[in-house]
Structure 1
Amino acid sequence: MKLNHIPYTTAICALLISSVSYAQTPEDPKKAEPARSSLTEEIVVERPYKPVLADAAKIRRSPDLNSNSVYRRPLTYSIFDKKLEINTDIRQLQAQEVVQGDRPPFKNNYAKFGLGNFSTGLAELYLNTGSDEALQAGFFLKHLNQKGDYEGQKFTRQSAGIFGKSIQEKVSLFGELGFDKFGTSFYGIDPLTEQQFSADPEKQRYNTFTLRGEMLKNYREEDEVDYALKADAYFLSDKFNAKENAFVLSGFVNKVWDKFNVGVNTSLDFTQTKDSVSLGNHIFRANPYIKLQGANFKLTLGANLVQEFGSNSGFNLYPAITAEMPIVPEFATIFAGFTGDVNKSTLRDFSIENPYLNRNINILNVNESANFYGGIKGNAGSGFGYKATLSYKKLENMPLFINNPVNPERFDVIYDDANVTGLEGEINVKVSEAFSWLGRVSINNYNMDVQEKAWFKPDFKLFTNARVKITKELTLDGELVFNDATSAFLSTPTPSIVKVKSYADVSAGAEYLYQEKVGIFLRVNNIIGNKYQRFLYYPQLGMNVLGGINYSF
């Protein structure tokens, strides 16, 4: 140790002494006198240098040995020393030519041919102008014939038509001209003796020409007025010179005003039926209404004004009130209504339901004086929908079929008042294009005024259909129709009621795409083979099989 530099040492000692005294005696620093030292030598202490890192600069985090950070190569850039030139004359961009790929096969047209037992033959042809939805024109032709085991048990149907559609800037136009021919015979068979009423049944044939035109205003959100105009006409004749001509002109106008829709539906219907006598059955109807749509409800208030004129005349005024309210938005909506109307009866509608009609059919319109209904509808996603409706109808002149007392294989039409309570339900399921299913059920209770039963009207009906796409080429489908037992009235030899048994008709089919445009199909109808009767004395065909080929082009 070396002693020198006494002045500096004296100063350091003085500072230490003053600090100690200050800690022991907290006196006023203003009164304290500076410490004086008698040391005159300076002491210097030398030792080896040891660097110490301050605590504040230390990293107190242990290294993460499990780090999986990816090594990223440093990027390098090569900057070219180029002068930017400004060209005021910029040349026009050239559109790049689109590479033409293979067009999908054109499948707007198809032809179909098939053969089966019961001398079944099928032929169909459909032609269309192209894939432009704004301009369509086409032609179709269909033929089907079958022959059963009994004499005169033959069915033939031919249909043909041309149509056109044009979507213009403001309106859409549609027109169709068609022809339909259905032929059969009065092959009635007594189920007790299994003998036909006639060894040589008379033939029946219905020819119907139809004409239809429609003009519909295209919807645009900014428009406040919508309208449509439609014209329908048909000319029907049968083998016994019965004729029916009809022309209907209908349309609607609707105006949007704030949350209201104000409009009117109207139609003028002229129908002339001629057999041994001529009957004019004309109807004018108007349905003014006001619709209010709120955030959680829809309400329609209106009236049906119906004026009948011609052979029968009368004026009727009915309410037209409907309401909807969602209870679970987008999933469940309850609805209800109270309406009334005049439902027109025509020879055409009767012949479609029952082609074995007698001559000189009496025609009266159905007065639906009251129709109360309510129910629930909705969906669970885009692939599941349902609807259930409970209704009560009060009908005047409800038409019923009964066997003619002289020719029981022919049917007359009688009328009776009825109160009908009904329940209808429907479920629709569609899982993409691979699977779809539809189920529909109808339950009705008929309380007749004069007649003991609602002849040939089942209390319970069921229809269901399913379609499954097994592979891209193979598709299967199945169908079930079930009708509950019905009752028929016979007036001779003594008035009696005959029970018509219930029946189930099960059908199935398959389609196989053999090539891109060629396919084969197979259809089996009435798999159970039950020769059931829809109308008394008319057993249907047993199991029938139909197969063939179709070609798209």
Structure 2
Amino acid sequence: MMYRKFPKIALALMVFIFLSGHLFAQVGSDPVIVVAPYDPTISDAFKINENPKIVDTAKYSHKLSYSLSPKLIKTNFELEPIKVAKMGPETISKLYSSFVKLGIGTLTTPYGEVYYNNLRSSKYSYGLHYKHLSSLGQIENYANSSFSDNEASIYGRKYIKKNTLSGGIDYKRNVVHYYGYQPDNYVFDLGDDEIKQRYSLIGTEVKYSNSLVDTVSMNNTYKLKYYNLADSYDASENNFLLNASFFRYFKFMKSIPKQVVGLDVDFDYFSNKNSFASENSSIFRLFPFVGVNMNDYRFTVGLNNIIQSDTISKIRFVPVIDISVNLVKNILIAYAGYDGNVQHNSLRKLSDENPFINTMLPLRDTYNKSKIYGGFKGAASSTLSFNVSGSTAKVENMPLFINDYSNVLLNKFTVVYDTMDVINVKGEVAYAGEKLGFVLSGNYFQYTPLHELKAWHKPNYEIKLSADYKIQNKIIVKADLLAYGTAYAKLIDVKGIAVAEKINGYVDGNLSIDYRYTKKLSVFVEFNNIASAKYNKWYNYPTRRFSLLAGVTYSFL
């Protein structure tokens, strides 16, 4: 460290000695003149940041004096009369009392329909309706398949204070032919009259009921119905139905908003005759029930008391329970229940389902012994609704259509009855928009018969789509799509053993277009079986393929 400081010390001593020598030299009095250029300098300026202030020490005050000279100015206000408000005309659409629809189609198919109704009235309403549809078209290689449908009705309604009296008379005449065989396969030939069947039905109904639901007093409905059905083979059926319904709202418990107590009474009587026998049967039903509505929870409990009378009498008691829960307000509802009932398989019911029956067939009551169901329903929006459910049921005496082997042509059907378990899953979606609307529904069935090999002529599923679309309220397009699953027919082989003959499923579609030329006049065209599909709904009964129907509609009066 000392060696590093030595040079610094030596340098300091040399400077000191040098300065000392100069100092000593100035002690003398000799003048020294230094010649050098002039270098003027100015010191730095500093800004004063304070503003000057004027302090006025003299103070004085000046008093103001003034006076007001009031002057009245005249003002005028004139009222303008307001125009009286006028009520606009009521926007009630004009009604036409009459409506006619006429058309003609391929396969020589005339069509006509007429409606007549009275105009608006707060006292009564009445009207009539008539419809005709027939066709002379034939199906290749099969017997005469022409048909004719006619129906007419007169109806009326009278408003009596808080009640309504209504009634009507109906008439139907339907003609078909048992065309389910191929004449070339037989050595004999039957005339058209020998395979012709005509159903004639006349009926009437009278009903008396409350016009609106009364939440204070008793609500009543009384109904009386009668019909007579006859065919070309001396078979006939008479039916009387008497129905009365009563219900009233109560408030037994303050915590529960609504409770309803009711009673339904039915008496259904049938009298059947044919060329070989006659029989009478009846069903009496007494159904008391109680319903409770607790905001999001609803349930109904009742007991079906049923008395069946034909050759013997039977008494049945079937509980009925229905429960629903509003899971999401006005959007999703869950429901479940248990019920059962008895229904008579009348000649009218069976012939409506299958017009190619032998009308001398056994008629029995179907007993829906127990049915358990559950599902969900609701609305996804104001235009879209849905319903999905499933059920399982035990059914006694379910009617199944089979070919009648007492007829050598096998072109008629009879029924066999069997007990079976039925599982059903179904769903439905409906949309109702301004222009587009549709309903899509589907059913899946699983049948387990007790004695028969199959549930004859019962498809395992069915899907239906119905839609309509409006184009500027001038053109309306409608479409229907149907799809049915596999079914089976019962045949007897050469050994006398029953075998199941498969009936393939099918898809069918229809399309119609309606052009409204004016509010009174429109034209339409309908396309049936647009894919020209070939299929059998009943064994050995092929349906017609593509056909077209066109015509006009007109409203008047």
Q: 2:288 is matched with which residue?
A: 288
Q: Which moved more, 1:336-345 or 1:453-462?
A: 336-345
Superposed displacement of residue 173, structure 1: 1.5
1:105–1:294 distance in 2 versus 1, CA, 3 Å: closer
Paired AA for residue 139 in structure 1 = L
Percent identity over paired residues: 26
Give 3-state SS (helix, strand or coil) of 1:456's partner: coil
Q: 1:271 is matched with which residue?
A: 270
- Residue in structure 1 matching 2:416, options 409, 414, 417: 414
Superposed displacement of residue 199, structure 1: 4.5
- TM-score by length of structure 1 reads 0.80
Superposed displacement of residue 50, structure 1: 12
Matched, 1:370 2:370: yes
Deviations 1:181-213 (A, max 9, x none): 11011111359x888995435100101111111
Superposed displacement of residue 102, structure 1: 11
Give 3-state SS (helix, strand or coil) of 2:533's partner: coil
Q: Which moved more, 1:222-231 or 1:465-474?
A: 222-231
Q: 1:450 is matched with which residue?
A: 451
Q: Is the 8 A contact 1:187 1:196 kept in 2?
A: no
Deviations 1:215-261 (A, max 9, x none): 11133555232111111111000010100000100011112111321
Q: Is the 8 A contact 2:213 2:219 kept in 1?
A: no
Give 3-state SS (helix, strand or coil) of 2:541's partner: coil
Q: Is the 8 A contact 1:224 1:257 kept in 2?
A: no
CA distance in 2, matches of 1:335, 1:139: 40
Superposed displacement of residue 268, structure 1: 0.7
Superposed displacement of residue 492, structure 1: 4.5
Q: Where do 1:48-447 residues align within 5 Å?
A: 78-79=76-77, 105-132=94-121, 134-150=123-139, 151-189=143-181, 198-201=189-192, 202-219=195-212, 221-258=214-251, 259-275=258-274, 276-407=276-407, 408-432=410-434, 434-447=435-448
- Residue in structure 1 matching 2:502, options 493, 499, 502: 499
Q: Is the 8 A contact 1:456 1:487 kept in 2?
A: yes
Q: Which has the larger radius of gyration?
A: 2
CA distance in 2, matches of 1:518, 1:77: 67
1:441–1:210 distance in 2 versus 1, CA, 3 Å: same
Q: 2:548 is matched with which residue?
A: 545
CA distance in 2, matches of 1:194, 1:478: 39
1:96–1:149 distance in 2 versus 1, CA, 3 Å: same
Give 3-state SS (helix, strand or coil) of 1:458's partner: coil
CA distance in 2, matches of 1:196, 1:139: 49
Q: 1:32 is matched with which residue?
A: none
Deviations 1:356-390 (A, max 9, x none): 11142101100111011111111123311111111
Q: Which moved more, 1:147-156 or 1:452-461?
A: 147-156
CA distance in 2, matches of 1:324, 1:273: 41
CA distance in 1, matches of 2:208, 2:382: 31
CA distance in 2, matches of 1:255, 1:102: 38
Q: Where do 1:462-477 residues align within 5 Å?
A: 462-477=463-478
Superposed displacement of residue 147, structure 1: 2.3
CA distance in 1, matches of 2:107, 2:61: 116
Q: Is the 8 A contact 1:190 1:196 kept in 2?
A: no
CA distance in 2, matches of 1:305, 1:232: 22
Q: 1:40 is matched with which residue?
A: none
Paired AA for residue 422 in structure 2 = V
What is the aligned length?
470
Matched, 1:486 2:479: no
CA distance in 2, matches of 1:417, 1:351: 22
Superposed displacement of residue 531, structure 1: 2.7
Paired AA for residue 334 in structure 1 = A
CA distance in 1, matches of 2:487, 2:217: 51
Q: Is the 8 A contact 1:215 1:229 kept in 2?
A: yes
Q: Is the 8 A contact 1:197 1:409 kept in 2?
A: no
Paired AA for residue 181 in structure 2 = I
Paired AA for residue 306 in structure 2 = V
Paired AA for residue 270 in structure 1 = Y
1:551–1:49 distance in 2 versus 1, CA, 3 Å: same
1:339–1:198 distance in 2 versus 1, CA, 3 Å: farther
Paired AA for residue 229 in structure 1 = Y
1:46–1:223 distance in 2 versus 1, CA, 3 Å: closer
CA distance in 2, matches of 1:496, 1:196: 27
Superposed displacement of residue 133, structure 1: 5.6
Q: Is the 8 A contact 1:405 1:492 kept in 2?
A: no
CA distance in 1, matches of 2:186, 2:136: 18
CA distance in 1, matches of 2:94, 2:335: 46
CA distance in 2, matches of 1:196, 1:128: 54
1:101–1:287 distance in 2 versus 1, CA, 3 Å: closer
Give 3-state SS (helix, strand or coil) of 2:536's partner: coil
CA distance in 2, matches of 1:374, 1:96: 57
For the aligned residues, what is the CA RMSD?
A: 2.6
CA distance in 1, matches of 2:85, 2:124: 30
1:286–1:142 distance in 2 versus 1, CA, 3 Å: same
CA distance in 1, matches of 2:88, 2:325: 53
CA distance in 2, matches of 1:126, 1:212: 19
CA distance in 2, matches of 1:197, 1:138: 49
Q: Is the 8 A contact 1:152 1:200 kept in 2?
A: no
Give 3-state SS (helix, strand or coil) of 1:349's partner: helix
CA distance in 2, matches of 1:525, 1:267: 41
Q: Is the 8 A contact 1:307 1:315 kept in 2?
A: yes
1:468–1:133 distance in 2 versus 1, CA, 3 Å: farther
Give 3-state SS (helix, strand or coil) of 1:189's partner: coil
CA distance in 1, matches of 2:298, 2:334: 11
Paired AA for residue 419 in structure 1 = D
Structure 1: stretches of 5+ with no match in the other structure:
1-44, 52-75, 82-94
Give 3-state SS (helix, strand or coil) of 2:304's partner: strand
Q: Is the 8 A contact 2:227 2:238 kept in 1?
A: yes
CA distance in 2, matches of 1:220, 1:358: 45
Superposed displacement of residue 96, structure 1: 10
CA distance in 1, matches of 2:523, 2:75: 65
Give 3-state SS (helix, strand or coil) of 2:538's partner: coil
Give 3-state SS (helix, strand or coil) of 1:267's partner: strand
Deviations 1:83-132 (A, max 9, x none): xxxxxxxxxxxx99989899954323200100010101101110011122
Give 3-state SS (helix, strand or coil) of 2:350's partner: helix
CA distance in 2, matches of 1:525, 1:416: 36
CA distance in 2, matches of 1:312, 1:492: 36
Paired AA for residue 225 in structure 1 = M
CA distance in 2, matches of 1:498, 1:196: 25
